[in-house]
Amino acid sequence: MPAEPSYVPIMSPMTAEELLHWSVPGKRAELVRGVLVVLEPAGFRHGAVSAALTRLLGDHVATHRLGVVLAAETGFRLESDPDTVRAPDVAFVRQDRIPDPEPRGYAALAPDLVVEVLSPDDRPGKTLARVSDWLNAGCRLVWVVDPVRRLARVYRQDGSETVVAEAEALDGEDVVPGFRCLLGEILSQPRSAHVE
């Protein structure tokens, strides 16, 4: 018999610890300044693009021993009291920033690189709020990949922004040194892609 679902009073802000034990069957959840945000599961194309970037970035990071790449749904506690826990589609944390010991729950840090892959129903305001949360928490580079428009927007901690067209490459810059991959090949998933 499945365990009974947990309920949190609506007027009480939820904590990161409560979110860790919260379950909404078939859904994903984040916490934004104490408020539970339930998200629909990602679609096929979103999953294929996220997986391709995870694989390519992971191979590069492992080969050069740069740190760790974390898959979708890995939560990071970006703020406390009230708590904010965000989960990007792909994350990279530099070797010298990996928590030791490894946390049981959410790491209380912002990744160095975050990748957000848009779904067709994502609204611009919510996407920009996510980008803002990442950058304000200390993330150095955020890639927002748009499979429908076939482009990516690159946001940096210094406030600069770049648009990457389909024929151009996503570049790890000084955050993930040496990493470059053609956006068009990533967007052509589930076909294979390669790193330049």
Tell me the CATH number at 97.
3.90.1570.10
The residue count for the chain: 196
Query: What is the rounded CA–CA span in Å between residue 41 and residue 170?
Result: 25
Query: What is the rounded CA–CA span in Å between residue 132 and residue 138?
Result: 10
Q: What is the pTM of this model?
A: 0.85
Tell the burial category of 76 from Cβ atoms under 10 Å away from its Cβ (0-12, 13-18, 19+): buried
Start-to-end Cα distance in the chain: 51
Pairing of strands 151-156, 161-165: antiparallel
Do the domain assignments include residue 46? yes
Q: Are 46 and 138 in contact (CB under 8 A)?
A: no
Tell me the residue range of the domain where 81 lies. 42-187
Structural domains in the chain (count): 1
pLDDT tens-digit profile, the chain (196 residues): 333 333 344 457 888 988 888 877 777 888 899 888 888 778 888 889 999 999 999 999 999 999 999 998 899 999 999 989 999 999 999 999 999 998 889 999 999 999 999 987 777 788 899 999 999 999 999 999 999 999 999 999 999 999 999 999 999 999 999 999 999 989 986 554 444 4
Tokens found for residue 195: 């790193």
Q: Are 46 and 147 in contact (CB under 8 A)?
A: yes
Do the domain assignments include residue 122? yes
Residue 115, classed as helix, strand or coil, is strand
Do the domain assignments include residue 118? yes
Q: Are 42 and 119 in contact (CB under 8 A)?
A: yes
